A = this chain, B = another copy of it.
Amino acid sequence: MQTGLGRRDSGKQGRAAQRLGIVGGAGSWGFAGADLALAAEASPGQLPNPELVVTSWGLTLAGAVISLIFAAKFFRGMVRADPGDPQMIRIADAVRAGARAYLGQQYRVILLFFIVVSALLAAMAFGLKTQSRWVPLAFWTGGFFSGLAGWIGMRTATLASSRTAQACKTSLNQGLQVAFRSGAVMGLTVVGLGLCDICLWFAILYWGVQLPLETVTVTMLCCVMGASSQALFARVGGGIFTKAADVGADLVGKVEQGIPEDDPRNPATIADNVGDNVGDVAGMGADLYESFAGSILAAAALGVSAFPQTPDLQMMCVLLPLLLAATGSLLSILGIHLVHTEEHASQHHLLHALARGINISTAGVIVATFGLVYLLLVVPSRTAVLPDGSPHPVGLALLGLAGSIIVGLVAGWLIGKWTEYSTSQEYSPTRHIADQSLTGPATVIIAGMAEGLYSVWVPVVVVCAGILLAFGFATGFVYHDDRLFALGLYGVAIAAVGMLSTLGITLATDAYGPIADNAGGNAEMSKLDPIVRHRTDALDSLGNTTAATGKGFAIGSAALTALALLAAYVEQVRTGLERWAFNSPAVAVSSSLEDATIRKLNPSLLVLRQSEADLNTLYLLNRTSALHPSADYVLSRDARVGADVAGVNVQKLVDDGLLISNRTATIPDYARYYDLSILNPRVLVGMFLGVMLVFVFCALTMKAVGRAAGAMVAEVRRQFHANAGIMLGTSDPDYAACVEISTKAAQREMVLPSVLALLVPVVVGVLLGVSGVVGMLAGGLSSGFAVAIMMANAGGAWDNAKKYIESGAHGGKGTEAHKATVVGDTVGDPFKDTSGPSLNILIKLMSIVSVVFAGLVVQYAVQIF
Contacts and interface: CB of A to CB of B under 8 A. Distances in A.
A443 B243 CA distance: 12
Contacts of A699: 450-454, 456
A117 to B, nearest CB: 24
A316 interface: no
Contacts of A449: 702, 827
Chain B CB within 10 Å, residue with most, of A255, A439, A454, A690: A439
A626 B688 contact: no
A679 interface: yes
Interface string A620-631: 001111111100
A388 B623 CA distance: 14
A446 B827 contact: yes
A695 B467 contact: no
A479 B682 contact: yes
A447 interface: yes
A28 interface: no
Nearest to A470: B681
Contacts of A489: 679
A565 to B, nearest CB: 12
A342 interface: no
Contact of A681 (B251, B468, B827): B468
A691 B461 CA distance: 11
Given A457-B695, A468-B685, A624 B677 contact: no
A442 to B, nearest CB: 4
A471 interface: yes
A826 interface: yes
Nearest to A452: B699
A684 B467 CA distance: 9
A464 interface: yes
B706 A443 contact: yes
Nearest to A445: B827
Interface in A481-521: 482, 485, 488-489, 492
Interface in A390-404: none
Interface stretch (A363-371, A541-549, A667-675, A727-735): A667-675
A501 B580 CA distance: 49
B657 A482 contact: no
Nearest to A672: B672
A320 interface: no
A775 interface: yes
Nearest to A696: B457
A456 B696 contact: yes
A757 interface: no
Contacts of A389: 627
A683 interface: yes
Interface in A683-703: 683-685, 687-692, 695-696, 698-700, 702-703
A782 interface: yes
A823 B442 contact: yes
B778 A684 contact: yes
Interface in A168-201: none
A567 interface: yes
Contact of A695 (B453, B629, B713): B453
Contacts of A628: 655-656
A779 interface: yes
Given A456-B696, A622-B625, A783 B691 contact: yes
Contacts of A775: 678
Contacts of A624: 656-657
A436 B830 CA distance: 15
A469 to B, nearest CB: 9
Interface in A754-784: 774-775, 778-779, 782-783
Contacts of A710: 436, 439, 443
A214 B170 CA distance: 82
A737 to B, nearest CB: 19
Given A440-B255, A678-B678, A695-B456, A703 B450 contact: yes
A794 to B, nearest CB: 10
A526 B741 CA distance: 55
Given A655-B628, A688-B785, A442 B826 contact: yes
A38 interface: no
Contacts of A705: 446
Contacts of A467: 681, 684-685
Contacts of A629: 656-657
Contact of A823 (B440, B454, B461, B687): B440
Given A451-B699, A464-B685, 16 more contacts: A388-B627, A445-B823, A461-B689, A461-B692, A467-B681, A467-B684, A472-B865, A489-B679, A492-B681, A567-B679, A627-B654, A627-B657, A628-B655, A671-B680, A691-B782, A691-B783
Interface of A: 247, 251, 255, 388-389, 436, 439-443, 445-447, 449-454, 456-457, 460-461, 463-464, 467-468, 471-472, 479-480, 482, 485, 488-489, 492, 563, 566-567, 570, 622-629, 654-658, 660, 665-669, 671-672, 675-685, 687-692, 695-696, 698-700, 702-703, 705-706, 709-710, 713, 774-775, 778-779, 782-783, 785-786, 790, 822-823, 826-827, 830, 865
- Those 10 A-B pairs whose CB atoms lie nearest each other, nearest first: A626-B657, A454-B699, A442-B826, A671-B677, A453-B699, A450-B702, A625-B657, A460-B692, A628-B655, A676-B677
6 contacts: A439-B710, A453-B699, A456-B696, A460-B692, A471-B681, A678-B778
